[in-house]
Amino acid sequence: METEGASFRNSRPNQQEGLQHADWKRKENRIMKKNIATLCSLIAAAVLSPTPVHARDEGKGKAKDVEVKCPAGIDHSTWDGLLKKYVDDKGLVNYAAWKSSKSDMEALDSYLKQFAAKTEKPAEGNEKAASLVNAYNAIAVRAILAAYPVESIHETKKPFETKAWKIGGATVSLNDIENGTLRPMLKYRAHAVLVCAARSCPPLQRSAYATDSFESQDDKAFTVWLGREDLNKFMPQEKKAEVSEIFKWFKGDFERSLPVAKVFAQYGPESAQDLTKGGQTLDISYISYNWGLNDQGEHGRNYSKINLIFDKLGGK
């Protein structure tokens, strides 16, 4: 027969285990709440942040974007032929077919190797602009092909920050080409021609940029981009526009050279010109940027902000 004291002693381990379990659950709940709060902060930052995901970050420990010097005399005919073969009239890329062609993969690599050599007399002016725009777009495509199939360029590791590409004897990043070189050089005009493999990017054109025609090609890229109602929408009857977040992220580039309203009037469709007549104040809102892959196939069609956040959380 169990005495009262023995019964009390036998109950103590169970009580202790219960207290330990309750303490463990409280700790688990605190950790879960902290993780949820972190995730909510990231979601809010992704939704509300005025800067692009690939914006320059020159904080402590971050590599600064540098100016890229490009060799003169690069032959862009190979890149031109590949664009015509694999890019459709919507600017979408047939990555699957491209990756399956060993000869065309080698052709792209051979084209990019032309940029690698250090040169005493680098390209200047429109030659530099055309070459580096082509290099940026070709590098973005090559990064996707290396990882394909993927749903977004953000499924590759730090695609804009990583210094992995040889140009002019230096190892550079996409941010070096864009932020360190082409934005200071071309100002607002850089934003219609740089394509980072996303569905909300300006459409990838089916011709390589060339020295002699760079300015007219840039004009055309703006016209095509602003004319796409899924990317930019102008509603003169309502006196408002819904446009790409690029116009928000890089507002300063436009304000320092050509204000956004004048860009709409100069390059936009008839609806944009009607909207901007007389210099009236515009009600401008921004279309959420779709980082899904600019693939002709199924990849990237369902990529969401949540996918983007988890890719960033994963260190990509």
Asked whether residue 290 is assigned to any structural domain, the reply reads: yes
Place of tokens 């960033």: 312
Asked whether residue 55 is assigned to any structural domain, the reply reads: no
Model confidence over 168-222: pLDDT tens digits? 999 999 999 999 999 999 999 999 999 999 999 999 999 999 999 999 999 999 9
User: Is residue 145 over pLDDT 80?
Assistant: yes
Indicate the average pLDDT of the chain. Answer: 87
For residue 78, the SS3 value is helix
Do 32 and 148 lie in one domain? The reply is no
Asked whether residue 198 is assigned to any structural domain, the reply reads: yes
The number of domains in the chain is 2
Do 249 and 105 lie in one domain? The reply is yes
Do 109 and 246 lie in one domain? The reply is yes
Residue 244 belongs to what H/E stretch? strand 240-244
Asked whether residue 296 is assigned to any structural domain, the reply reads: yes
Do 183 and 223 lie in one domain? The reply is yes
Specify the pLDDT at position 8: 38
158: left (phi over 0), alpha (psi -120 to 50) or beta: left
Do 169 and 33 lie in one domain? The reply is no
Model confidence over 110-125: pLDDT tens digits? 999 999 999 889 999 9
Kindly indicate the confidence band of residue 22, based on its pLDDT and cuts at 50, 70 and 90: low
User: Is residue 52 over pLDDT 70?
Assistant: no
Of residues 1 and 184, more confidently modeled: 184
In Å, how far are 80, 96, 103, 144 from 100, measured between CA atoms?
Answer: 19, 6, 9, 13
User: Is residue 55 over pLDDT 90?
Assistant: no
Asked whether residue 67 is assigned to any structural domain, the reply reads: no
Do 96 and 155 lie in one domain? The reply is yes
Closest CA to 286 of 228, 227, 232, 222: 232
Residues 6+ apart with CB under 8 A from 191: 202, 246, 250, 253
Do 37 and 127 lie in one domain? The reply is no
Do 169 and 244 lie in one domain? The reply is yes
Provide the token pair at 38. Answer: 């972190």
Place of tokens 């109602």: 229
Least confident span in 9-18, 62-71, 155-164: 9-18
Maximum pairwise Cα distance, the chain: 104
Do 44 and 81 lie in one domain? The reply is no
The pTM score is: 0.83
Asked whether residue 145 is assigned to any structural domain, the reply reads: yes
User: Is residue 155 over pLDDT 50?
Assistant: yes
| Average pLDDT score over residue span 281-310 | 94
Burial readout 51-88 (b: 16 or more C-beta within 10 A, e: otherwise): ebbbebeeeeeeeebbebbbbeebebebbbebbeebbe
β-pairing, 170-172 with 165-167?
A: antiparallel
Q: Which domain holds residue 268?
A: 77-313
DSSP-derived secondary structure for 175-207:
HHHIIIIIHHHHGGGGGGT---SBTTSPPPPSS
Do 39 and 91 lie in one domain? The reply is no
Dihedral in degrees, nearest 10, Cα atoms 109, 113, 115, 116: 130
Do 287 and 158 lie in one domain? The reply is yes
Do 29 and 121 lie in one domain? The reply is no
Please tell me the number of Cα atoms within 13 Å of 47 on its side-chain side.
8
Residue 301 CB neighbour total at 10 angstroms: 12
Asked whether residue 211 is assigned to any structural domain, the reply reads: yes
Burial readout 152-169 (b: 16 or more C-beta within 10 A, e: otherwise): bbbbbeebbbbbebebbe
